[in-house]
Structure 1
């Protein structure tokens, strides 16, 4: 091989390397900037054409037998071309006809290239067929020349692909076929029933061309209005539907082109120059159009073709799909259009770019679309500040909440939005937003999720107290900066952490049920949050399927008047104003959105997407989870049906120091988990003060044993301590044996050993804890010594942690009906009714307490004004 050939080889290799680099760069850009659809399509289309041109040059060089050593480079290049083709013509745009089905685009998807056949490329002994693609919608006019039968098949295939990759109604056809009077493309005739197809008569071409020119002028003047260069750019910059449909005009002309007048030719050229930017596209057969950057030329001949995009590479044309298949597709499209556009999908609520919105002035996100397909945004801000959602069972309330949460979290980052979610009905609606055994991801915006809390109104109160504390913190910060609302505070304190807070409480009426202290506190907290929260960026979303929940609010005008945003699902009652009957007539999967306190005339009917699909939610959540900041922590999940286990830090093996925030150095016995937002332990300080003893009351053996075991293990984890365990109930022997095995210094006593127990209780400076299981079984013979231990022991660092099976038995052990119970400074009540606790409670008649499994009432005289509900830890069960 001569020096001239070597130089040519070097040039071709350099061109192949450059083409590979271009392809790789485009692939990387397409992966990292999918939301920039218009730019991506343009880059891929240019790279696809560039790679094909390079392949043509490589083919020509190979034919001269000088490129044998570039086989590996050519193979890599063909793979890149195939990848680019798959990206630019996915689904119905590039699938072979035998596998072809329509592809519904998403709302941010933009047209790409369309397949007309394949390009064969031989590299060594390998022969590769690559998709041959041409630009069309938003890219080019098509000028199809050459063999008429082949040209007609190319046009039929391109029109079907264009219709199959767009939504029904987004493309409108006009066909001018003077020779066969529309028969050439008769398969598309069913579109005429939906107003999507017009067959132009032989004398009607001038009117059609004039109408298109006027349409282009109107789009430039009224739609683009100098702000955008094209409809494609405008659509890419907005989240709504395309403002104007594509208009495709098919001109099936004679090869000579003599059937056009000079005026028609002039109008045609105006459309060539300006139509693509305004969504007007020409498909011209038989007449050669003047060269223009927007014209894609396709020349057919005996089943093959060449075109501008594929260059010198010959295309093997795909056979057109059968006419009956085209007609069937067009009938289906017309029927769908007459039925109206389908509702938005959950994915359609997602914006083009995640986390780009600011919540300074409020939160705006769509929850569905209107009947014309445009997304309907819902606002939470200074006005309206709070929302009320209502609908009977099965009307789609949870689905609506899912859609709203998904739309909000896709638009606002965790620094702009914080969510607190509480579900009072029996279920786990919000559990998917927290890490689980099947999916470790979580929704980064969620700070707290409560599920199965229908029996734990206390947790609802805990959430409201937490929000009230946050409101106080924000109000103080606003006062320091002389700000009156959140927008001003964030402007004055740009480095502060002030996201807008949305608290969703489903079946909120549970909080207001009953006439007790919890209901009174819930109302007071809700009224304060609703009244003052709007200015500090705290928004409440209350939902109920039972009209009684709404009735609980109607008697409190100061509270209900703050909820000016009303969302009523089908058959919802008392959400809207009495004379507003819109909720009674809307169909399923719809909602009435009213931002004017439900008054008639302010309704917007929204079609809701299916937001309950777990796979769709998981796809969005994992994307958001992957973008979470490094400082983002998993949300607190409170499950009313789950029993918390004693944390390892409170076991002797952990040997960690006491981490309580309480003041003082006295050891703290952990008894269970408090029902609050932070999941803090309920702790009993056992200092050298009178009455520092504990009584566990009730007949539930397993829970009583768990309370005493948690207390003992947590005390042992804090430092040197001695334990004496007196087990007087055979049912507790297994639990005490397990506890003995874990305590570092413990002695075990049966009922026959009680004399030995009291004989060994000499103070030695080390805390000594007497754990008594069923102490009431000791009998009258030991009551005097037990009373003395309870009265004098704490000051000598001797403390009794005892279990009595009823309050009367405890009272008998302490001296009878008239005896003082001061030696019991703290108690935990299990299955004991509230009135039975009257002798131990500061409340006359005892606390309001209805026992339930795995809940206990804890009272410490030195800390509490009223008892609090706790959850006994699971400590020594078989699976722990």
Structure 2
């Protein structure tokens, strides 16, 4: 007999050692990757039940002399059990009612066990009694109905209180009390199923399970928690078809997030069914074997009601957006963009951060969503997340907004905030009418692509990672070009649209491998499928169209501040639902940007901000009182008249070289007096800033006198002539002589011969005419009438003159494609241009300048 006891004790000790090892392994697994959360929970549940059963068996099988030796082992094992219970029944799932409070799971956390009471071994060990439910089992309860209803109330409160509002959808079948048994849960508006509707309920659950099984990828729908409070009549009246449906739910429901809590109705034997048998205030359940659980008292009714009201209010308000600060890394600018760019844009349905990659495999992204869906907010979130991870040496941003807004203005310095985002090289705002700036940016990126491609060939590299490895001293950051409402650049059947489409397709095809990535966003994407084929990363906002595949309806069901991230060109089965932060708080954003700005490296240049509604002013260096920058000095002996700002990446001035060659005169054409005066003033002042010169200012209309007077006041030693004393018979000079003419078409027939002679012969004598004619026909009259040529006008600036009217001055038939718009001009110099370019006349002598 003694040998038998010794063998039994040895076996128990071996079992205890194995249980402790399992407990330690599970506790260590609790710190592992979030992706193993569900597996970890299952291991903890199994270890918890195994330890309890081994402890109970050891207590029953040992004798008095063994109990003393075993007690120390039992105390240690009880400590491990408490640790396991803490891991698998955290917060509201396992706290006693006296300290109970709702608690949301940690990001990536999965449901654990739920407490229903305590297990008492002796005076030293009282452990929580836990049962599985969500993602684990169905519950079948038997015993006195009144006690069972109290247990069910506690289970529901713990399940709802330990998940996020809306994550559990409650349905109650209660034919006797018509839902009154669970009345405290009424604020949550549970689906109540009355007598005679059990069949339709079961059919609906089976359809839901089939739909979940047919949907690829992880389940995103809430859990369906169905409470069946059946009576004898229900069990007697069930048809064979209803019984078959119930059995099917038992077998397949848990894997699809459908769980039954049943009283008064038998369930078939299945591993997913956890049976709880209640006797008065004690209970036994399958997973704990012979261990008796002393049931907790029911939760206070007022606490249940208060919780349900609070949860209902939060559900009605909808899910709150994530916080922008949640996306920040532990340390700014610690990441390398050698192999790509990865940054989170929000959290998933389980609370884990969803990261979006840009690299060789997923080089470009497409964002789609109607107006008001949060497209701009998503761009701010993504750019902010990238900017906190990758410094200016690793990331360069080019931002274009064709959505008629100023969303990217926050990244540049302003009058109230001098900070800017160090990674931004260029930002274009209010450019919905300035396709030229978008085209100039694409040309710049195309030049950068050629530079990188040639450098990669020299170093024998195929990708940016290979180039940076072979040329560690080079400056090769990854470039991200964001174009919001990009179809605006491609509208129309003109050369600009064709060139923009060609550049975009080339960047989409070859740019990714050389570290140039596109993020294209739009409201509607009809008609751009060849381009979209190069954009495998798709992000669809609520109600987005043509972003995902035709059979992918993910964007149709997501709420505000959510998006569908798809890395398989929009195909079904690759959807990930992400909840986006709200980046609209300018105070929060300004605080983040200032932190990054203060950390900018030495030599980090302020970004170029192009505002389509802003009018640039003539820089001080182009005025006589200023000093011409050495980099902008005129070439050779031909001074350059500055006419306006070019619409390009570098904000260079548009210049007209005035040498001693025929035709070196300028005609400003159009009826906009202020803009014509600004063009003439900018040209005259910039010429005066380049060295000695003579000026004759001729004003022939009263509406231009104020502008002419201001120009004369600023020019050194300028003569001013009006219609009473105007003359075009001017002698030659050793220094250039510039005739600035306001409304020269008003000179009249008397002065036309002299004006024509000056235009023809003046440039060779260093006399150049820069004049304003209000219409092309009037210019033609001054040049000799219908048969006269325009050789004397080598350059022109057209304001509000349609392109067809410029045909006589244009070398190609039909005239240029030009639709006039405010504060834009068409500049053509036949000695330089093949096609005209759009410029912005400087603001020079307006009242506020």
TM-score range, shorter chain: 0.5 to 0.7
Cα-to-partner distance string for 1:543-600 (whole Å, 9 max, x where unaligned): 011x2xx12312xx2x221111111111111111111111112122111111111111
TM-score by length of 2: 0.66
1:831 alignment partner, one of 800, 813, 816:
800
- Helix, strand or coil at the partner of 2:751: helix
Partner of 1:186: 98
- Helix, strand or coil at the partner of 2:835: coil
**Which consecutive unaligned segments of at least 5 residues does structure 1 have?**
1-106, 108-167, 176-181, 213-322
Q: Does 1:758 align with 2:736?
A: no
Partner of 2:347: 369
Retained in 2: the 8 A contact 1:842–1:866?
A: no
User: CA 1:823 to 1:170, structure 2 compared with 1: closer, same or farther past 3 Å?
Assistant: farther
Task: Give distance in 2, aligned partners of 1:778 and 1:346.
Answer: 66
- Helix, strand or coil at the partner of 1:358: coil
User: CA 1:466 to 1:325, structure 2 compared with 1: closer, same or farther past 3 Å?
Assistant: farther
Retained in 2: the 8 A contact 1:835–1:845?
A: yes
Partner of 1:653: 625
Task: Give distance in 2, aligned partners of 1:788 and 1:585.
Answer: 75
Task: Give distance in 1, aligned partners of 2:810 and 2:459.
Answer: 45
Task: Give distance in 2, aligned partners of 1:717 and 1:189.
Answer: 77
User: CA 1:468 to 1:198, structure 2 compared with 1: closer, same or farther past 3 Å?
Assistant: same
Retained in 2: the 8 A contact 1:384–1:595?
A: yes
- Helix, strand or coil at the partner of 1:641: coil
Deviation at 1:798, TM superposition (A): 0.4
Q: Does 1:696 align with 2:668?
A: yes
- Helix, strand or coil at the partner of 1:475: helix
Deviation at 1:737, TM superposition (A): 0.5
Retained in 1: the 8 A contact 2:421–2:597?
A: yes
User: CA 1:585 to 1:657, structure 2 compared with 1: closer, same or farther past 3 Å?
Assistant: closer
Partner of 1:407: 385
Deviation at 1:758, TM superposition (A): 2.8
Deviation at 1:844, TM superposition (A): 1.0
Partner of 1:851: 820
Cα-to-partner distance string for 1:453-497 (whole Å, 9 max, x where unaligned): 011111110110010011111111111111111000000111111
1:112-191 to structure 2, matched below 5 A, reads 171=91, 174=94, 186-188=98-100
Retained in 1: the 8 A contact 2:664–2:794?
A: yes
Partner of 2:26: none
Retained in 1: the 8 A contact 2:669–2:774?
A: yes
Retained in 1: the 8 A contact 2:89–2:114?
A: no
- Helix, strand or coil at the partner of 1:771: strand
1:714 alignment partner, one of 686, 695, 703:
686
Task: Give distance in 1, aligned partners of 2:392 and 2:89.
Answer: 38
Deviation at 1:332, TM superposition (A): 8.1
Q: Does 1:782 align with 2:751?
A: yes
Partner of 1:561: 533
User: CA 1:762 to 1:604, structure 2 compared with 1: closer, same or farther past 3 Å?
Assistant: same
Partner of 1:346: 324
Partner of 1:12: none
Partner of 1:462: 440
1:34-113 to structure 2, matched below 5 A, reads none
Task: Give distance in 1, aligned partners of 2:89 and 2:636.
Answer: 74
Cα-to-partner distance string for 1:185-225 (whole Å, 9 max, x where unaligned): 6252777999897364352789975999xxxxxxxxxxxxx
Task: Give distance in 2, aligned partners of 1:427 and 1:411.
Answer: 27
1:660-809 to structure 2, matched below 5 A, reads 660=632, 663-754=635-726, 757-759=727-729, 761-809=730-778
Partner of 2:24: none
Partner of 2:395: 417
Partner of 1:551: 526
**Which consecutive unaligned segments of at least 5 residues does structure 2 have?**
1-33, 35-87, 106-110, 131-299
Q: CA RMSD in A?
A: 2.8
1:323-334 to structure 2, matched below 5 A, reads none
1:822 alignment partner, one of 776, 787, 791:
791
Deviation at 1:816, TM superposition (A): 1.1
- Helix, strand or coil at the partner of 1:435: coil
2:118 alignment partner, one of 186, 189, 201:
201
Partner of 2:376: 398
Cα-to-partner distance string for 1:81-118 (whole Å, 9 max, x where unaligned): xxxxxxxxxxxxxxxxxxxxxxxxxx9xxxxxxxxxxx
- Helix, strand or coil at the partner of 1:871: strand
Deviation at 1:342, TM superposition (A): 5.1
User: CA 1:470 to 1:329, structure 2 compared with 1: closer, same or farther past 3 Å?
Assistant: farther
Cα-to-partner distance string for 1:397-447 (whole Å, 9 max, x where unaligned): 001111100100010001100000010122100000000011111101100
Retained in 2: the 8 A contact 1:570–1:588?
A: yes
Task: Give distance in 1, aligned partners of 2:501 and 2:554.
Answer: 29
User: CA 1:486 to 1:574, structure 2 compared with 1: closer, same or farther past 3 Å?
Assistant: same
Cα-to-partner distance string for 1:784-824 (whole Å, 9 max, x where unaligned): 11111111111111000000000000011001111111110
Count of residue correspondences? 588
Partner of 1:253: none
1:309-708 to structure 2, matched below 5 A, reads 343-545=321-523, 547=524, 550-554=525-529, 557=530, 559-656=531-628, 659-660=631-632, 663-708=635-680
Partner of 2:148: none
TM-score by length of 1: 0.64
User: CA 1:385 to 1:744, structure 2 compared with 1: closer, same or farther past 3 Å?
Assistant: same
User: CA 1:200 to 1:805, structure 2 compared with 1: closer, same or farther past 3 Å?
Assistant: same
Task: Give distance in 2, aligned partners of 1:465 and 1:666.
Answer: 29
- Helix, strand or coil at the partner of 1:551: coil
Deviation at 1:328, TM superposition (A): 9.7
